[in-house]
Amino acid sequence: MMTQITFKVEAFWDSDAAVWVATSDDVPGLVTEASTIEVLTQKLREMIPELIILNRIIPRDYPGSITFELTSHRQELIKVAS
């Protein structure tokens, strides 16, 4: 049975640039941004396999699947009506 590999990805909302920014300690070279979390997730689906093959974390002919875990953080300051 093949072991399932999970790559952890962190995303945060950059309010100045109005984009989600994703990075990962598990995937060397991963830095990307997108306007929505859905678009970011789609980009990650494409980038993670490419980067882990390029970084030789898994072989090009890896027979199994991988998983990524996306943790997001967004903090906003809102005014409470008085």
Q: What is the pLDDT of residue 1?
A: 53
Q: What is the pLDDT of residue 24?
A: 98
Contact indicator for 11, 72 with CB cutoff of 8 Å: yes
Q: What is the pLDDT of residue 4?
A: 77
pLDDT single digits (tens) 34-45? 999 999 999 999
Q: Which whole-number Å values give the CA distances from 75 to 10, 13, 54, in the listed order?
A: 14, 8, 34
Kindly indicate the confidence band of residue 82, based on its pLDDT and cuts at 50, 70 and 90.
confident
* CA–CA dist 5, 29 (Å, integer): 18
The CATH number of the structural domain formed by 5-73 is: 3.30.2390.10
Tell me the backbone φ, ψ of residue 50, rounded to 5 degrees: -60, -45
Nearest to 12 by CA among 72, 81, 61: 72
